[in-house]
Amino acid sequence: MKRLILAFLPFTLLISSSSCDKPAGGGEVTRRNVQVELVSNLATMNSAGDVVYNFLDALSVDFSTDAGDSGSAAMSQESPNTMLGSVNGIKSTAKTLWCFTPGLGGPTTTVSVSATLPKTDPETSASFMGMAFCSSPISISKTNVSGLIKPLTSAVVLDIFDSRGRTWPAITTVTMASADGTVLATGSTSITFNCSNITVGKADSPASLGAVVLPCTFTGTVTVAGEGYSAVYTIGSELALQAGYVKHIDVNLARASVNGEEPKGFPTRLGIMGDSISTFSGIIPSDHRAYYPKSDCDVTDWTKTYWGVLATQYWKCELDVNTSWSGSCVAADPRTGSSYRKPFVDRVGLFQDPDAIILFGGTNDAISTNQVGLGEFNYDQPLDQMDTYCRFRDAYIFVVRSLQKNYPAAQIICIIGTDVPGDYGSSVETIAKHYNLPYVDFRGEKDVAGKVTIYSGSHPNAAGHAYKAKKIYEETLSLFQ
């Protein structure tokens, strides 16, 4: 996300003589004008990439002196980084001048300044008021003096979105609350954002709300509420909210608890049950046949397989067991049994403790030379009485039911490959829907530009595996968040 880069602003005060005399208590008091120049330093940001507020576009200065003077002065924009104006009618007895941009008057008053905040679209911007600054006292006893404005407060911008793209009712309230009693505003450990007619955005166009806070190290929650929902997003990692800087916070409601229901979170242990596409030598059990790696294929490491990309890049989880076997069918091959290519039905008990299982098979069953018939959608037969393992539908149902029995906490994800045609592919879809299981469908995507590129036959190269991983991740995101 784009960040603005701005810097603290030093005051340069130029004193000019004045001849405005007024009676005060029987005597005369000389008044004078003070020329105020605000100059921006070069653009900077802090180490976290938070931007610094700019208030050169305020175009006004509030002032006060130790002689009781106070008021406002108009400023003009002299250049992109310079504002110039005159503070008029300062008593000659004044020795100290305070300037604010713009402020409420008084030497102890903090200053509200404007800040322009970026959205994702670089051609648009959003702004809000409220950054608090105050200056060190500036002596006006000499002709040319200068002081330095220093920030007193920090600011946060909540970028609110749902990575799943769900539609939410309009936001009515947004509250940020510290978890450990950290004070965010004077006397309060929480702040409420001003929001009206704001709706939850998407990842590339979030809804952005800003507010001023006291500098602190923050952990806590952001609660986004609207009609019929209250979503609580937890910020568990410490955020440094530094004076003078804008901290953008991504609030992804896909990872929030909604109406008290906690998100599942991504898998921590991933199990794989597949055929050759899901194999890699050294990762699958040593007595299982592997297809990958190949000397002339760029899938040179298990992390380049679709399941490796899911585990290492998207879900960042551990592998439980990859039970895949090259050339295997879901059903038992009626010609060879299980001695040559151990079928899926014989591998349903090989996992350890997975919380997600990818079931990716059917390609070899659909090959006519394997003579695997379709069979029936037999959902009601007791599991221990199912013995029609040589038929595809019966075998797939047996595998699903066995995995559910053996690993009841695991989320099963069914994959329909590019080469699972006709009734075989539609059978996987039908069975997945019956058991309310997610399925990711790659039918029709073979040799399609930008989709599943191949190494040979139906086997993806590294780019094809990366595409598969991305699609599986995106289409199953709602399961875990």
Higher pLDDT, 241 or 112: 241
- pLDDT for the residue 81: 58
Per-residue confidence band for 55, with pLDDT thresholds at 50, 70 and 90:
very low
For 306-330, what is the mean pLDDT? Answer: 93
- pLDDT for the residue 421: 80
Higher pLDDT, 435 or 21: 435
Choose the weakest-confidence range: 10-19, 253-262, 279-288, 420-429.
10-19
Per-residue confidence band for 276, with pLDDT thresholds at 50, 70 and 90:
very high
Cβ contacts of 202 within 8 Å, gap of 6 or more: 161, 162, 163, 165
Ramachandran sector of residue 474 (left: φ over 0; alpha: ψ -120 to 50; beta: rest)? alpha
Higher pLDDT, 352 or 121: 352
For 49-56, what is the mean pLDDT? Answer: 57
- The string of pLDDT tens digits covering residues 10-24 is 333 333 333 333 433
- pLDDT for the residue 446: 73
- pLDDT for the residue 108: 31
- pLDDT for the residue 137: 47
- pLDDT for the residue 132: 40
Per-residue confidence band for 98, with pLDDT thresholds at 50, 70 and 90:
low
Higher pLDDT, 292 or 80: 292
- The string of pLDDT tens digits covering residues 198-244 is 899 887 788 988 888 888 999 999 999 999 999 999 888 788 888 76
- pLDDT for the residue 79: 66
For 169-188, what is the mean pLDDT? Answer: 91
C-alpha separations of 240 from 216, 218, 368 in Å: 6, 6, 63
- pLDDT for the residue 409: 83
Choose the weakest-confidence range: 163-167, 168-172, 270-274, 396-400.
163-167
Per-residue confidence band for 166, with pLDDT thresholds at 50, 70 and 90:
confident
Query: Considering the chain, what percentage of its residues have pLDDT values greater than 70?
Result: 68
- pLDDT for the residue 13: 37
pTM for this prediction = 0.50
Q: Tell me if 15 sits within 8 A of 34, measured CB to CB.
A: yes
